[in-house]
Structure 1
């Protein structure tokens, strides 16, 4: 993907879809909930139940770090943005699925340490190239 972003081919791709499976919450473990979805190892596929297979551009399991999600799914878009292409990242899912945590966590206490949330990570390369944006965002 990095090659796609740098070569300008990223502009030919309209939409990329990534799925991230969150781990069970502590209360779900206590209530003996079971995991019903898993990532197929070394693929971008997810199995729901025992036999429903779905394919995506990226699939991240419950142990995936914020940095892994950023490096694979967001950084190529930031690089493409710096090359003059449009890019959007948004999270979609039901309440409690991890959208806010993945994208930005608590917006009341910035900046977040690198690797913690996607929004602060994507801002860093933009501020390096366009430092005057940093004063506008504060």
Structure 2
């Protein structure tokens, strides 16, 4: 189970345990911030020569994340991906746009295909990953 899946389920369970009530979303958009290495333990993102700890040097010039749209997964415009750089780290932001009319149509498991275009001083590379999002309506 991926760390993103565990995090989302953990947050939902904690809220359910603490509040012990039904949960209703009041906002129309949500952002989930994910650190750059969620796609893989890529040597492009974290080379072996980097020491453990807060010290981080990288040959990465830029990373751009994109949501790959395929015919098998119709997301109905619910999800968008943005890239954010803070200091020497890249994040992809998964933006979830919740329709104002809450109904069972959106209660589903969505499989998102995310692509990272990585530009380094040594060349370019592309990585892809699948992220599962469990959209639940309580």
TM-score by length of 1: 0.27
RCO comparison, higher one (Cα < 8 Å, 6+)? 2
More strand by share: 2
